């Protein structure tokens, strides 16, 4: 294993120390237990947004803490859910009196620990609601999941619900927006290579020299099938087809197309995938009205990509376009 780390046990703490130093204008990091809040938290009268989950998916979630997106992120160990305590601490730290929304990717540990933290927060008279994101069409149940996994759609939920809270919507409305995003977003990913969790020291799974995994999870969980290496266009089809079959967008719909890198993929390859995915959506009569291309929800150094399609309406589009100022996503501020 060759990684730019010191001790595998300190990967998250040292990452957060560097993140704090680099972005002190935007975020404040709390250590032991670890969580990241907006530098100006809590924002009085605004619904607070808290997300979190295992580390190793950077910039998700800490990179999205800031004005117009998350109020707090709670990173667990690599690929490991955070415990309820830091989730509770983060929830209390961002409560500005208007309640808190938990944005939870659908993994069993995350769901349980966020639920526990929410119950504890409610005992302290903080109103908490939760959206469980489950946009991955690859598999119905999975290694760590009952139901569908939450993947790239999480970035859409965090941005759009973040803009909803930022404009002053109340907790019910922010939840309604988040739910609408989750209902209209579908994703599927693939891997060319595996990744290595630092404390494990060896790849999470084995892939042959000429083999790829279609429908991979963001922790390297098995997907739908392994197939021989194929062209970018063929691979793109293997991701777009299941998304369209499931989302069933009416011709004429406007969509956001998000092509995400798994962490180790050259940017150029993502644009090649985007190019064909966009043609496929246009051939299906859809208008690609918004786009996002890059590393936004990763799996350490895994090579591969995921495709996310979000069916837009006017309100979701306006919220997507709203200003945002975070370490990883900034626009108009």
Residues facing 307 on adjacent strands = 188, 259
Shortest CB 198 distance to its own copies, Å: 9
Cα distances from 123 to residues 42, 88, 102, 128, 141, in angstroms, run 19, 11, 16, 11, 32
Q: Does 44 bind its own copies (CB under 8 A)?
A: no
The residue among 13 and 244 lying less far from its own copies, judged by its C-beta, is 13
Q: Does 272 bind its own copies (CB under 8 A)?
A: yes
Q: Does 288 bind its own copies (CB under 8 A)?
A: yes
> From the CB of 155, what's the least distance to its own copies, in Å?
14
CB of 146 to its own copies, least distance (A): 28
Binding mask 11-30 for its own copies (x = CB under 8 A): xx-xxxxxx-xxx-------
One of 235, 238, 310, 312 touching its own copies (CB under 8 A): 235
- Taking the least distance from each CB to its own copies, the nearer of 183 and 241 is 241
Residues in region 305-324 near its own copies by CB under 8 A? 305
Task: From 304, 164, 332, select the one nearest 235 (Cα to Cα).
Answer: 304
Contacting residue, 121, 133, 161, 293, with its own copies by CB under 8 A: 293
DSSP of 220-275: S---SEEEE---HHHHHHHHHHHHHHHH-PPTT-EEEEEEEE-SSS-HHHHHHHHH
**Smallest distance, its own copies to C-beta of residue 112, A:** 25
The residue from 26, 43, 53, 55 that contacts its own copies (CB under 8 A) is 55
Catalytic residue check, 219: yes
**Quick one: three-class SS letters along 175-199?**
HHHHHHHHHCEEEEEEECCCCECCC
Full strand arrangement of the beta sheet holding 225-228: 225-228, 211-214, 185-191, 304-311, 254-261, 287-294
User: What is the pattern of x (binds its own copies, CB under 8 A) and - over residues 195-234?
Assistant: --------------xx-x----------------x-xxx-
**In the structure encoding, which two tokens stand for residue 180, read together?**
């609408």
Element (H, E) at 281: helix 267-283
What size, in residues, is the chain? 333
Active site residue 199: no
Nearest CB to its own copies, comparing residues 225 and 331:
331
Q: Are 83 and 128 in contact (CB under 8 A)?
A: no
Q: Which helix (H) or strand (E) holds 308?
A: strand 304-311
Would you say 195 and 220 are in contact if contact means Cβ atoms under 8 Å apart?
yes
Whether residue 241 contacts residue 167, with contact meaning beta carbons closer than 8 Å, is answered with no
Cis peptide before 61 (omega within 30 of 0): yes
Contacting residue, 301, 317, 318, 321, with its own copies by CB under 8 A: 301
Residues annotated as catalytic (active site), given as ranges: 57, 219
Residues that bind its own copies (CB under 8 A): 2-6, 11-12, 14-19, 21-23, 55-56, 58-59, 63, 192-193, 209-210, 212, 229, 231-233, 235, 263-275, 278, 288, 291, 293, 295, 298, 300-301, 303-305, 330-333
């Amino acid at each position: 294993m060759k990684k730019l780390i010191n001790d595998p046990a300190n990967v998250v703490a040292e990452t957060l120390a560097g993140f704090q130093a680099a972005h002190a204008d935007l975020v404040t990091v709390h250590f032991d237990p670890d969580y990241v809040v907006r530098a100006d938290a809590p924002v009085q009268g605004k619904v607070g947004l808290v997300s979190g989950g295992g580390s190793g998916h950077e910039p998700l979630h800490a990179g999205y803490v800031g004005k117009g997106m998350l109020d707090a992120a709670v990173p667990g160990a690599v690929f490991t859910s955070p415990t309820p305590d830091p989730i509770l601490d983060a929830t209390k730290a961002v409560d500005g009196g208007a309640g808190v929304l938990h944005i939870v990717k659908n993994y069993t540990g995350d769901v349980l620990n966020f639920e526990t933290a929410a119950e504890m927060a409610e005992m302290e008279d903080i109103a908490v609601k939760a959206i469980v994101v489950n946009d991955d069409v690859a598999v119905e149940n999975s290694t760590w999941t009952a139901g569908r996994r939450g993947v790239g759609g999480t970035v859409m939920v965090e941005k759009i619900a973040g803009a909803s809270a930022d404009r002053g919507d109340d907790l019910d409305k922010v939840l309604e927006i988040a739910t609408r995003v989750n209902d209209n977003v579908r994703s599927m990913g693939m891997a060319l290579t595996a990744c290595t969790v630092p404390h494990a020291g060896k790849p999470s799974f084995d892939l042959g020299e000429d083999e790829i995994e279609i429908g991979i999870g963001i922790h390297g969980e098995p997907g739908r099938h392994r197939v021989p290496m194929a062209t970018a266009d063929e691979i793109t089809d293997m991701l777009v087809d299941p998304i369209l079959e499931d989302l069933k967008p009416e011709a004429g719909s406007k969509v956001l197309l998000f092509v995400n890198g798994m962490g180790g993929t050259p940017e150029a390859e993502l644009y090649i995938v985007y190019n064909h995915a966009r043609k496929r959506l246009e051939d299906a009569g859809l208008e690609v009205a918004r786009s996002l291309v890059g590393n936004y929800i990763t799996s350490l150094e895994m090579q591969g990509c995921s495709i996310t399609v979000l069916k837009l309406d006017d309100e979701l589009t306006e919220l997507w376009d709203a200003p945002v100022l975070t370490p990883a996503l900034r626009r108009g501020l």
